[in-house]
Amino acid sequence: MKLLSAEFIKSSVSPEQFPPDRLPEIAFVGRSNVGKSSLINSLLHRKKLAKVSKTPGKTRAVNFFTVRTSDPKLSLLSLVDLPGYGYAKVSKTMRAQWGPMIEQYLEQRQSLGAVILLIEARVWMPQDVMTVQWVQSLGCGMIIVLTKADKLRQSERAPSLAAVRTACGLGPEVPIVLYSAETHEGRDALWGEIRTQFKT
C-alpha cells in the first residue's frame, strides 16, 4: 500500500464543528505528551502536518486529516487527533471541556472504525489502563501503540509488551505495536493493523 496524499482538514473545538460523518475514521487517543502528533506525522511521512510541541496539552482541539492510499479498500480515510488526557498546561475550564467533547466523539461518531490508543512504552499509568477499558466497552476496533520504542533496550521490549497486555487485561486479539516516531520503527506494522481493522 502506498500513501498518495495527506492533508489537514480542520480543527474543531466543539462537536457542532466536526466535519460530516462520511469517511471511515481512525481516532488517536492517549495521555498528554505521549506523542500522538509525532506519530501521525511519522505515519503519514510528513514532518509538520500535525503540530508537535514539548508542552503537554498542545493539541487543544479535535484535528481531522484526510488521507488517500493506493489500497482499493481504504482509498480514502480520515485520521483524527484527539486532545490528550491527563496533565496539560491549560486552564481547568478548558480541561473540563475536553472530556465531554472526546466522549461524545468516541461514543457517537458513526464513521469511527478504529481507535489507536497510544501508551508510552516505559511510563504507562493507571489512567491508561482505564482508557483502554473504556475504549473496549465502546465495541469499536482498537490498536494499542507503545510509543518511544527507541528508548527501550532490546531486553525490555518483550517484558513491556507483556506488562501492558496483562495490566490492561487484553486478549491476544488486540494488537500491540511498538513504535518510534524518531526512527519510524513500527510504521509498516501499524499500517498493516489499520488495514486489518477495515477489511470487509
- The domain segmentation of the chain, as residue ranges, is 3-197
Q: What is the pLDDT of residues 71-123, one digit of tens each?
A: 988 899 999 998 887 644 444 554 455 567 788 888 889 999 999 999 998 87
SS3 state at 81: strand
What CA–CA distance (Å, rounded) separates 167 from 189?
23
Cα distance between residue 31 and residue 180, in whole Å: 16
CB of 149 closer than 8 Å to CB of 143 = no
Which residue from 95, 93, 145 is spatially nearest to 121, judged by alpha carbons? Answer: 145
C-alpha cell recorded at residue 2 = 502506498
The pLDDT of residue 53 is above 60? no
Among 9-13, 31-35, 113-117, 178-182, which stretch is predicted with the lowest mean pLDDT? 31-35
Lookup result for grid cell 481516532? 27
pLDDT grade for 60, boundaries at 50, 70 and 90: low
**44: its cell numbers:** 503519514
What pLDDT is recorded for position 50? 75
Q: How confident is the model at residue 148 (pLDDT cuts 50, 70, 90)?
A: very high
- Residue 97 is predicted with a pLDDT of 54
What's the CATH class of domain 3-197?
alpha beta
**Average pLDDT over all residues of the chain:** 85
The predicted pLDDT at position 98 comes to 55
Instruction: Note the pLDDT tens digit of each residue in 1-10.
Output: 889 999 999 9
- Statement: residue 37 has pLDDT above 90: no
For residues 50-67, give the mean pLDDT: 69
